[in-house]
Amino acid sequence: MLNWILVDEIIKNGLKEDINNIDITTDTLIDDESKSAAQLLAKEEGVIAGLNVFERVFKILDQDVVVKFNVKDGDKVEKGTVIARIEGSTKAILKGERLALNLLQRMSGIATASRKYSDIVKNFPVRIVDTRKTTPGLRILEKYAVRAGGAYNHRFNLSESVLIKDNHIVAAGGIKEAIHKVKGRISHTVKVEIEVETIEGLKEAIEAGADMVLLDNMSLEEMKKAVEIGKGKVILEASGGITLDDLVDVAKTGVDIISVGALTHSVKAMDISLKFIS
Domains and CATH numbers, the chain: 4-113+267-276 (3.90.1170.20), 152-259 (3.20.20.70)
Strands 46-47 and 82-89: unpaired
**Known catalytic residue: 133?**
yes
d(CA 82, CA 78): 9
d(CA 74, CA 79): 16
Residue 1 has pLDDT above 90, yes or no: no
To 5 degrees, how large is the angle CA 17–CA 22–CA 24? 110
**Known catalytic residue: 195?**
yes
Q: How many CA atoms lie within 13 A of 113 on its CB side?
A: 24
Task: Provide the terminal-to-terminal Cα distance of the chain, rounded to the nearest Å.
Answer: 34
Binding-site positions for substrate = 98, 131-133, 155, 165, 195, 216, 239-241, 260-262
Catalytic residue among 76, 85, 133, 233: 133
- Tens digits of per-residue pLDDT, 61-106? 999 999 999 999 999 999 999 999 999 999 999 999 999 999 999 9
Q: Which residues pair with 76 in a beta bridge?
A: 47
What is the tally of helices (H) and strands (E) in the chain? Answer: 11, 12
Cβ-based burial of 212 (10 A; exposed 0-12, middle 13-18, buried ≥19): buried
User: What are the residues whose beta carbons fall under 8 Å from the beta carbon of 254, sequence distance 6 or more?
Assistant: 223, 224, 227, 231, 236
The DSSP-derived string for 6-55 is HHHHHHHHHHHHH-SS--HHHHHHS-TT-EEEEEEEESS-EE---HHHHH
The pTM for the full model equals 0.95
- Tens digits of per-residue pLDDT, 16-70? 999 989 999 999 999 999 999 999 999 999 999 999 999 999 999 999 999 999 9
Catalytic residue among 35, 76, 85, 98: 98
Catalytic residue among 73, 130, 195, 237: 195
**Known catalytic residue: 268?**
no
